[in-house]
Amino acid sequence: MFSLRITFPLLASLAFLLGASAWGSDYKGALYTLSQEFNQAILISALHPNGTAEFVSSFQTGGKGAGARGQDALQSSDSLLVHENLLFAVNSASDELSLFHIDPKEPWNIQQIGNNTWSGGKYPTSIAVSPDSTKACVANAGSQSYIRCFNIRETGLELMSSFRYDLELGQTDPPVGPPKTPSDLSFTADGQILFVTVKGSANASEAPAGRIELFDVSSDSVSHKSTVYAASGPGGLPFSITPIADSAAYLVTDPAGGADIIRIERDGSVSYNTSITIPGQAATCWSAYSPVTDQYFTIDLATAIITPMTINSTTLEATLLPGYNITTSSGNPGSLVDSRIAHFSDQQDYLYSLVAGDQTVRVFSLPAGSQSGIFDLVQTYELGAAYNSTGGAVGTSIEGLAVFVRTWW
């Protein structure tokens, strides 16, 4: 999963030649977040070998973030995405995408590839990249709620004009959600299917229903295949997508009740479909997987609880483990949003959970053998304050999180 391939050798070697930096070889990786100011910036932090984060710099995307839209401005997952040595970002309010090359040796150094590109619709919120790194697809959430795809070229993103699928959500600019907005999108492991989670009206007797749209992908085309419903039923709000290890199934969070598990076969048919109730949940939206502990983590924006679970890859049966209540380690911070796992070694993962409410990132250690689900908070990383100290302001919202772990240095 973290195999490193230099997609753009020319840029990589240039970055190598120019890579003189005060930031040495002591760091294990980098963490990126997106300020949602109109003057949007990617906030870049370095990761220490013990998992803690330290602010490095910011990079203006030249595009517009969501603006003053509260703590969950994008209501989606994967608005900032690392794929191999590439970093993708949405600029929601300017209907654009930005693409960067990450220097794999010094991942706190990023370099933009091409100019910002029109997202092919209005108000992009989520991005997916094909396993072979040839295509990127985006979900737009505004008045033109289109799924669009791009060929990834050395010069940047090139819109595939032949494909445009309208989610027909009847939205405004900016969109008013969370109901009736796209949440996330992903390719299957073989790259043959693209699928998109779409929140319904949240009312089982009122259209549209929460759903998952499936698309066939070939080397030169994308086309709509089918619409499927997750087990939470028509009132559902399918949200983030996390692949379940060693299976063709996906954990899909669903703030209507907890999460859904859905298995998608190679031909695009659904062979398993169930829902998981997380007791006391209010808004389970984000999720992540730790290969070291073989646990899945769901993040509840409203209760500020992270719930770990194990999922048997054969039976797809889920077992909930005791949740971690963020409020016990601080006053109620509000609005837990994007979360990612960074895989440091066979023995150690870290969970980075962005708290939009207090502009921090909570860092949890996930060492091998920690099976109980009780995990250690190693840092409350004051990201907003660190950015402020450099003269920046994240505004009312910070959303989108991605990590890069160095492999050979």
Compute the least distance from the CB of residue 320 to ligand NAG, in Å.
13
DSSP codes joined into one string, 242-295: EEPTTSSEEEEEETTTEEEEEEE-TTS-EEEEEEEE-TT-S-EEEEEEETTTTE
Q: In the structure encoding, which two tokens stand for residue 9, read together? A: 């050798």
For position 228 contacting ligand NAG by CB under 6 A, the verdict is yes
Which residue is nearest to ligand NAG, using beta carbons?
384
Residues recorded for the chain:
409
Asked if 312 is part of the footprint of ligand NAG (rule: CB under 6 A), the reply reads yes
**How far apart are alpha carbons 126 and 147 in whole angstroms?**
10
Q: Which two tokens stand for residue 6?
A: 């230099």
Per-position x/- string for 252-291, each x denoting binding to ligand NAG as judged by CB under 6 A, each - no binding: ------------------x--x------x-----------
Q: Does 205 engage in binding with ligand NAG (CB under 6 A)?
A: yes
Residue 314 exposure: Cα atoms within 13 Å on the Cβ side: 0
User: Given the rule CB under 6 A, which of 17-25, 76-84, 308-316, 400-408 is the region that contacts ligand NAG?
Assistant: 308-316
Is residue 326 within 8 A of residue 362, CB to CB? The reply is yes
Q: Is 376 in the site for ligand NAG (CB under 6 A)?
A: no
Residue whose token pair is 């391939």: 5
Residue 325 sits in the site that holds ligand NAG (CB under 6 A): yes
Q: Which of 74, 305 has the CB closer to ligand NAG?
A: 305
Instruction: Kindly report the three-state secondary structure assignment for every residue of 92-151.
Output: HHHCEEEEEEECCCCCCCEEECCCCEECCCCCEEEEEECCCCCEEEEEECCCCCEEEEEE
**Only segment of 10-18, 59-67, 95-103, 203-211 that touches ligand NAG (CB under 6 A):** 203-211
Nearer to ligand NAG, 125 or 241 (CB): 241
Q: Is 39 in the site for ligand NAG (CB under 6 A)?
A: no
Tell me: does residue 378 bind ligand NAG (CB under 6 A): yes
Question: Tokens 């969370």 appear where?
Answer: 178
Does 11 participate in binding ligand NAG (rule CB under 6 A)? no
Segment near ligand NAG (CB under 6 A), from 56-64, 188-196, 312-320, 349-357?
Answer: 312-320
Binding status of residue 380 toward ligand NAG by CB under 6 A: no
Give the separation between CA 323 and CA 391, rounded to whole angstroms: 36
Q: Answer yes or no whether residue 303 interacts with ligand NAG by CB under 6 A.
A: yes
Q: 41 and 64 in contact (C-beta within 8 Å)? A: no
Q: Which among 297, 397, 402 has a CA at the least distance from the CA of 74? A: 397
Cα Rg for the chain, rounded, in angstroms? Answer: 19
Q: Restricting to residues 106-165, which ones interact with ligand NAG according to CB under 6 A?
A: 114-115, 155
Among 190, 206, 267, 376, binds ligand NAG (CB under 6 A): 206
According to the binding rule CB under 6 A, does residue 25 interact with ligand NAG?
no
List the interface residues with ligand NAG, window 340-359 (CB under 6 A).
359
Residues within the interface to ligand NAG (CB under 6 A): 48, 50, 52, 114-115, 155, 203, 205-206, 228-229, 231, 233, 270, 273, 280, 303, 305, 312, 314-315, 325, 327-328, 359, 378, 384-385, 388, 393
